[in-house]
Structure 1
Amino acid sequence: MSRGHQTQEVRRVRTPRRGEIPGVVEQIMGHGKLKVRCADGHIRLGRIPGKMKKRIWIREGDVVLVKPWEFQSEEKADIVWRYTRTESNWLERKGYLKL
């Protein structure tokens, strides 16, 4: 196997559940906070929960799944999942991602 070639494993793509909205990271704010443009048209301040902080690295342009807060739901949300490029392409083809 060559060094630069990685095999793609087939796995299920996590689809948005009730109350979750896909979005694209626009800006990294620092201290585990991101500015996310959500599919419903709102720009929210996303917070990376502690259990995800060291495990997953999120960059600008990544497609993420956010769960808006109970209060201030138009402004703030928690990051629930980060999609890979292949998964985000699949979501776009299936109509889950309308950005």
Structure 2
Amino acid sequence: MSENEGRRDLRMPDDDEVFAEVTNMLGANRVTVRCADGTERTARIPGRMQKRIWIRENDIVLVEPWDWQDEKADITWRYENSEAEQLRDEGHLQ
């Protein structure tokens, strides 16, 4: 068995994205997230994700904070549970 067996190449954050954990569902396609940079933000689920990807509390997501309003963000990606565990094992998440 090799060390990288079962390891998948995961989407990593771009320069303007950060890891976040969904802490609260607000309704109206909005959630509260706790970002890896220590900030709580209100994140918006974009239309292209609303019916295709279900986002629940405690999910790990990538968010892109707004340039003009730092306490808000857009969700750009959601990780599956197995992918989130892999990120934790590799030290990307605390």
TM-score (norm 1): 0.84
Match of 1:55 among 46, 52, 57: 52
After superposing on structure 2, the runs of 4+ consecutive aligned residues of structure 1 that deviate more than 6 Å are: none
What is the distance in 1 between the residues matched to 2:87 and 2:57? Answer: 18
State the 1:10 CA deviation: 6.8
> Which residue in the other structure is 1:46 paired with?
43
What is the distance in 2 between the residues matched to 1:35 and 1:69? Answer: 14
Secondary structure at 1:35's aligned position in 2?
strand
Match of 1:30 among 19, 27, 30: 27
State the 1:14 CA deviation: 0.7
Amino acid at match of 1:81: W
> Which residue in the other structure is 2:79 paired with?
83
State the 1:79 CA deviation: 0.3
State the 1:12 CA deviation: 2.5
In structure 2, the gaps of 5 or more residues are 1-5
State the 1:92 CA deviation: 1.2
- The answer to whether the Cα contact below 8 Å between 2:18 and 2:63 also exists between their aligned partners in 1 is yes
RMSD of the TM alignment (CA)? 1.4
TM-score (norm 2): 0.88
Amino acid at match of 2:31: L
Q: How many residues align?
A: 89
Pair 1:93-2:89 in alignment: yes
